[in-house]
Amino acid sequence: MQKILNEIAELCNGATTEPTKTGLPRVLMIQGEVPTHQLAAVYEPLIGLVIQGGKTISIGTQVLRLEGPSYFVIPTEMPATGYVRQAANGRPYLSVAIQLDQKVLLDLLKDTPNTVDGKNNHNEFSACPATAPFLEVWLRMLRLMKTPEHIAALAPLYEREILYHVLIGPEGWRLRQLFHSHQKGSSIHQAIQWVRQNFTNTFEIEQLANRACMGITTFHRQFKSITGLSPIQFQKQLRLLEARKLLTYSGYSVTDAALDVGYESVSQFNREYSRFFGASPARDAKELKEMGI
Protein backbone atom coordinates (compact mmCIF):
# COMPACT_ATOMS: atom_id res chain seq x y z
CA MET A 1 0.00 0.00 0.00
CA GLN A 2 2.87 2.39 0.75
CA LYS A 3 4.06 2.09 -2.85
CA ILE A 4 0.63 3.25 -4.05
CA LEU A 5 0.66 6.18 -1.60
CA ASN A 6 4.14 7.21 -2.74
CA GLU A 7 3.09 7.26 -6.39
CA ILE A 8 -0.06 9.25 -5.58
CA ALA A 9 2.12 11.77 -3.70
CA GLU A 10 4.43 12.08 -6.71
CA LEU A 11 1.50 12.66 -9.05
CA CYS A 12 0.14 15.37 -6.69
CA ASN A 13 3.48 17.14 -6.34
CA GLY A 14 2.07 20.25 -8.02
CA ALA A 15 -0.69 20.76 -5.45
CA THR A 16 -0.73 23.96 -3.40
CA THR A 17 -2.39 25.00 -0.14
CA GLU A 18 -5.41 26.10 -2.20
CA PRO A 19 -7.67 23.49 -3.83
CA THR A 20 -5.72 22.76 -7.03
CA LYS A 21 -7.35 21.61 -10.26
CA THR A 22 -5.98 18.44 -11.83
CA GLY A 23 -7.47 18.52 -15.31
CA LEU A 24 -9.68 15.61 -14.22
CA PRO A 25 -13.42 16.29 -13.94
CA ARG A 26 -14.30 17.39 -10.38
CA VAL A 27 -10.99 16.12 -8.95
CA LEU A 28 -8.97 18.49 -6.75
CA MET A 29 -5.81 18.17 -4.66
CA ILE A 30 -4.29 20.18 -1.82
CA GLN A 31 -1.08 19.94 0.21
CA GLY A 32 1.06 21.75 2.75
CA GLU A 33 0.29 24.09 5.63
CA VAL A 34 -3.34 24.83 4.79
CA PRO A 35 -4.41 27.96 6.77
CA THR A 36 -7.02 27.24 9.41
CA HIS A 37 -9.24 30.11 8.24
CA GLN A 38 -9.45 28.48 4.81
CA LEU A 39 -10.90 25.35 6.41
CA ALA A 40 -13.73 27.31 8.06
CA ALA A 41 -16.10 27.31 5.14
CA VAL A 42 -19.20 25.89 3.53
CA TYR A 43 -17.98 22.55 2.24
CA GLU A 44 -19.27 21.36 -1.12
CA PRO A 45 -20.51 17.77 -1.53
CA LEU A 46 -17.41 15.61 -1.97
CA ILE A 47 -15.39 12.54 -1.13
CA GLY A 48 -12.12 13.59 0.50
CA LEU A 49 -9.13 11.26 0.74
CA VAL A 50 -6.26 12.12 3.09
CA ILE A 51 -3.04 10.66 1.71
CA GLN A 52 -0.43 12.06 4.10
CA GLY A 53 -0.69 13.78 7.46
CA GLY A 54 -3.99 14.29 9.21
CA LYS A 55 -7.08 16.45 9.18
CA THR A 56 -9.64 17.38 11.83
CA ILE A 57 -13.11 18.55 10.75
CA SER A 58 -15.68 19.93 13.17
CA ILE A 59 -19.31 19.69 12.08
CA GLY A 60 -21.62 21.01 14.76
CA THR A 61 -20.70 19.15 17.94
CA GLN A 62 -19.03 16.34 16.02
CA VAL A 63 -15.27 16.18 15.57
CA LEU A 64 -13.96 13.99 12.76
CA ARG A 65 -10.26 13.07 12.99
CA LEU A 66 -8.54 11.54 9.99
CA GLU A 67 -5.04 10.14 9.59
CA GLY A 68 -3.87 9.21 6.13
CA PRO A 69 -4.74 7.08 4.36
CA SER A 70 -8.43 7.51 5.13
CA TYR A 71 -11.43 9.22 3.56
CA PHE A 72 -14.53 11.14 4.57
CA VAL A 73 -17.89 11.98 3.01
CA ILE A 74 -19.51 15.40 2.79
CA PRO A 75 -22.92 14.53 1.30
CA THR A 76 -24.31 18.02 0.83
CA GLU A 77 -23.34 21.66 1.29
CA MET A 78 -22.59 22.18 4.97
CA PRO A 79 -20.65 24.61 7.17
CA ALA A 80 -17.63 23.21 9.00
CA THR A 81 -14.28 24.18 10.47
CA GLY A 82 -11.03 22.28 10.56
CA TYR A 83 -7.26 22.15 10.59
CA VAL A 84 -4.59 19.90 9.09
CA ARG A 85 -1.47 18.26 10.49
CA GLN A 86 1.70 17.55 8.56
CA ALA A 87 2.90 13.95 8.36
CA ALA A 88 5.13 12.66 11.14
CA ASN A 89 7.80 11.62 8.63
CA GLY A 90 8.27 15.23 7.54
CA ARG A 91 6.15 14.96 4.42
CA PRO A 92 3.49 17.64 3.88
CA TYR A 93 -0.21 17.14 4.44
CA LEU A 94 -1.73 15.88 1.21
CA SER A 95 -5.30 15.12 0.23
CA VAL A 96 -7.33 14.64 -2.93
CA ALA A 97 -11.06 15.01 -3.42
CA ILE A 98 -13.75 14.34 -5.96
CA GLN A 99 -16.80 16.58 -5.97
CA LEU A 100 -20.08 14.70 -6.04
CA ASP A 101 -22.14 14.81 -9.21
CA GLN A 102 -25.78 14.07 -8.44
CA LYS A 103 -26.50 12.57 -11.85
CA VAL A 104 -23.51 10.21 -11.75
CA LEU A 105 -24.38 9.07 -8.24
CA LEU A 106 -28.06 8.51 -8.94
CA ASP A 107 -27.18 6.50 -12.03
CA LEU A 108 -24.73 4.36 -10.06
CA LEU A 109 -27.24 3.71 -7.28
CA LYS A 110 -29.44 1.86 -9.77
CA ASP A 111 -26.68 -0.72 -10.24
CA THR A 112 -25.48 -0.93 -6.63
CA PRO A 113 -26.87 -3.49 -4.17
CA ASN A 114 -28.13 -2.02 -0.93
CA THR A 115 -25.89 -3.87 1.52
CA VAL A 116 -26.22 -1.28 4.27
CA ASP A 117 -28.07 -2.32 7.40
CA GLY A 118 -29.82 -0.12 9.93
CA LYS A 119 -26.89 -0.25 12.34
CA ASN A 120 -25.00 2.24 10.19
CA ASN A 121 -27.77 4.80 10.24
CA HIS A 122 -26.64 7.19 12.95
CA ASN A 123 -25.75 10.86 12.94
CA GLU A 124 -22.04 10.50 13.54
CA PHE A 125 -19.69 11.21 10.66
CA SER A 126 -16.79 8.78 10.56
CA ALA A 127 -13.29 8.51 9.19
CA CYS A 128 -13.12 5.52 6.85
CA PRO A 129 -9.87 3.58 6.40
CA ALA A 130 -8.74 3.58 2.77
CA THR A 131 -8.36 0.02 1.50
CA ALA A 132 -5.81 -1.01 -1.11
CA PRO A 133 -8.49 -1.43 -3.86
CA PHE A 134 -9.84 2.06 -3.06
CA LEU A 135 -6.36 3.59 -3.31
CA GLU A 136 -5.65 1.68 -6.51
CA VAL A 137 -8.58 3.23 -8.36
CA TRP A 138 -7.56 6.68 -7.13
CA LEU A 139 -4.08 5.98 -8.50
CA ARG A 140 -5.49 4.98 -11.88
CA MET A 141 -7.56 8.15 -11.91
CA LEU A 142 -4.62 10.41 -11.05
CA ARG A 143 -2.32 8.71 -13.58
CA LEU A 144 -4.61 10.15 -16.26
CA MET A 145 -2.99 13.52 -15.57
CA LYS A 146 -0.01 12.15 -17.52
CA THR A 147 -2.19 11.02 -20.45
CA PRO A 148 -4.89 13.68 -20.80
CA GLU A 149 -5.99 12.19 -24.13
CA HIS A 150 -7.49 9.28 -22.14
CA ILE A 151 -9.38 11.39 -19.60
CA ALA A 152 -12.67 11.64 -21.49
CA ALA A 153 -12.90 7.87 -21.96
CA LEU A 154 -11.56 6.58 -18.63
CA ALA A 155 -12.18 9.22 -15.94
CA PRO A 156 -15.95 8.55 -15.81
CA LEU A 157 -15.26 4.84 -15.25
CA TYR A 158 -12.83 5.51 -12.42
CA GLU A 159 -15.22 8.03 -10.90
CA ARG A 160 -17.95 5.40 -10.75
CA GLU A 161 -15.53 2.92 -9.20
CA ILE A 162 -14.48 5.40 -6.51
CA LEU A 163 -18.13 6.15 -5.71
CA TYR A 164 -18.95 2.44 -5.68
CA HIS A 165 -16.31 1.79 -3.01
CA VAL A 166 -17.81 4.59 -0.92
CA LEU A 167 -21.38 3.37 -1.40
CA ILE A 168 -20.55 -0.13 -0.11
CA GLY A 169 -18.41 1.30 2.72
CA PRO A 170 -19.22 2.60 6.22
CA GLU A 171 -20.53 5.99 5.02
CA GLY A 172 -22.38 4.75 1.95
CA TRP A 173 -25.73 4.93 3.74
CA ARG A 174 -25.31 8.70 4.05
CA LEU A 175 -25.20 9.14 0.28
CA ARG A 176 -28.11 6.77 -0.22
CA GLN A 177 -30.23 8.58 2.34
CA LEU A 178 -29.65 11.94 0.72
CA PHE A 179 -30.05 11.04 -2.92
CA HIS A 180 -32.88 8.52 -2.56
CA SER A 181 -34.96 11.48 -1.42
CA HIS A 182 -34.79 12.82 -4.98
CA GLN A 183 -36.77 9.82 -6.15
CA LYS A 184 -39.57 10.35 -3.62
CA GLY A 185 -42.03 13.09 -2.86
CA SER A 186 -39.83 14.31 0.00
CA SER A 187 -36.50 16.04 -0.35
CA ILE A 188 -34.19 17.08 2.46
CA HIS A 189 -31.86 18.29 -0.27
CA GLN A 190 -34.33 20.96 -1.38
CA ALA A 191 -34.74 22.17 2.20
CA ILE A 192 -30.97 22.35 2.68
CA GLN A 193 -30.64 24.37 -0.51
CA TRP A 194 -33.40 26.73 0.62
CA VAL A 195 -31.68 27.43 3.94
CA ARG A 196 -28.37 27.84 2.10
CA GLN A 197 -29.90 30.54 -0.10
CA ASN A 198 -32.06 32.22 2.56
CA PHE A 199 -29.97 31.96 5.72
CA THR A 200 -30.40 35.66 6.58
CA ASN A 201 -34.16 35.18 6.87
CA THR A 202 -36.01 33.86 9.90
CA PHE A 203 -38.01 30.69 9.40
CA GLU A 204 -40.01 28.10 11.30
CA ILE A 205 -39.04 24.43 11.24
CA GLU A 206 -42.59 23.66 10.13
CA GLN A 207 -41.98 25.69 6.94
CA LEU A 208 -38.94 23.60 6.07
CA ALA A 209 -40.66 20.34 6.94
CA ASN A 210 -43.54 21.25 4.62
CA ARG A 211 -41.04 22.10 1.88
CA ALA A 212 -39.57 18.62 2.28
CA CYS A 213 -43.05 17.03 2.51
CA MET A 214 -42.30 15.58 5.95
CA GLY A 215 -43.55 15.74 9.50
CA ILE A 216 -41.55 18.03 11.78
CA THR A 217 -39.96 15.24 13.84
CA THR A 218 -38.97 13.18 10.81
CA PHE A 219 -37.62 16.22 9.01
CA HIS A 220 -35.53 17.38 11.97
CA ARG A 221 -34.07 13.88 12.43
CA GLN A 222 -33.19 13.42 8.76
CA PHE A 223 -31.79 16.94 8.37
CA LYS A 224 -29.39 16.35 11.27
CA SER A 225 -28.58 12.85 10.08
CA ILE A 226 -27.36 14.20 6.74
CA THR A 227 -25.73 17.49 7.77
CA GLY A 228 -24.68 16.75 11.35
CA LEU A 229 -26.49 19.94 12.38
CA SER A 230 -30.00 20.95 13.31
CA PRO A 231 -31.62 23.40 10.87
CA ILE A 232 -31.06 26.27 13.34
CA GLN A 233 -27.39 25.35 13.87
CA PHE A 234 -26.97 25.07 10.11
CA GLN A 235 -28.40 28.56 9.60
CA LYS A 236 -26.34 30.03 12.46
CA GLN A 237 -23.05 28.74 11.09
CA LEU A 238 -23.86 29.98 7.59
CA ARG A 239 -24.49 33.42 9.10
CA LEU A 240 -21.22 33.41 11.02
CA LEU A 241 -19.16 32.33 8.00
CA GLU A 242 -20.73 35.05 5.87
CA ALA A 243 -20.18 37.66 8.60
CA ARG A 244 -16.49 36.73 8.72
CA LYS A 245 -16.21 37.44 4.99
CA LEU A 246 -17.92 40.80 5.39
CA LEU A 247 -15.63 41.79 8.26
CA THR A 248 -12.43 40.64 6.60
CA TYR A 249 -12.92 41.39 2.92
CA SER A 250 -15.58 44.10 2.76
CA GLY A 251 -14.59 46.29 5.69
CA TYR A 252 -17.93 45.99 7.50
CA SER A 253 -18.19 47.08 11.12
CA VAL A 254 -19.17 44.40 13.63
CA THR A 255 -22.65 45.90 13.96
CA ASP A 256 -23.22 46.13 10.21
CA ALA A 257 -22.00 42.58 9.64
CA ALA A 258 -24.25 41.21 12.39
CA LEU A 259 -27.34 42.96 11.04
CA ASP A 260 -26.53 42.12 7.42
CA VAL A 261 -26.47 38.36 8.06
CA GLY A 262 -29.73 38.42 10.02
CA TYR A 263 -28.85 38.93 13.68
CA GLU A 264 -31.12 41.21 15.68
CA SER A 265 -28.81 41.32 18.70
CA VAL A 266 -25.19 42.40 18.24
CA SER A 267 -24.24 41.07 21.67
CA GLN A 268 -25.61 37.64 20.73
CA PHE A 269 -23.65 37.83 17.48
CA ASN A 270 -20.45 38.60 19.40
CA ARG A 271 -20.99 35.66 21.74
CA GLU A 272 -21.74 33.15 19.02
CA TYR A 273 -18.96 34.40 16.74
CA SER A 274 -16.39 34.14 19.56
CA ARG A 275 -17.56 30.64 20.42
CA PHE A 276 -17.38 29.48 16.79
CA PHE A 277 -14.09 31.08 15.71
CA GLY A 278 -12.33 31.32 19.07
CA ALA A 279 -11.94 35.11 18.97
CA SER A 280 -14.19 38.17 18.98
CA PRO A 281 -15.33 39.44 15.56
CA ALA A 282 -13.13 42.53 15.72
CA ARG A 283 -10.03 40.64 16.85
CA ASP A 284 -10.53 37.80 14.38
CA ALA A 285 -10.95 40.15 11.42
CA LYS A 286 -7.92 42.19 12.50
CA GLU A 287 -5.72 39.08 12.70
CA LEU A 288 -6.86 37.82 9.30
CA LYS A 289 -6.18 41.21 7.71
CA GLU A 290 -2.70 41.32 9.28
CA MET A 291 -2.04 37.92 7.68
CA GLY A 292 -2.75 39.56 4.33
CA ILE A 293 -5.89 37.56 3.70
- What would the pLDDT profile of 214-271 be if each residue is shown by its tens digit? 899 999 988 888 888 999 999 999 999 999 999 998 999 999 999 999 999 999 999 9
Give the tens place of pLDDT for each residue, 170-218.
989 888 876 665 555 557 888 888 999 999 999 999 989 988 888 999 9
**70, 128 in Cβ contact below 8 A?**
yes
Rounded distance, CA 32 to CA 8, Å?
15
Rounded distance, CA 274 to CA 256, Å?
17
Question: Taking phi first (over 0 means left), then psi (-120 to 50 degrees means alpha), and beta for anything else, what does residue 109 get?
Answer: alpha
Q: How many CB atoms lie within 10 A of CB 273?
A: 25
**169, 120 in Cβ contact below 8 A?**
no
User: Which three-class secondary structure state does DSSP give residue 79?
Assistant: strand
% of the chain surpassing 70 pLDDT: 92
pTM, entire model: 0.88
Section 65-90 average pLDDT: 93
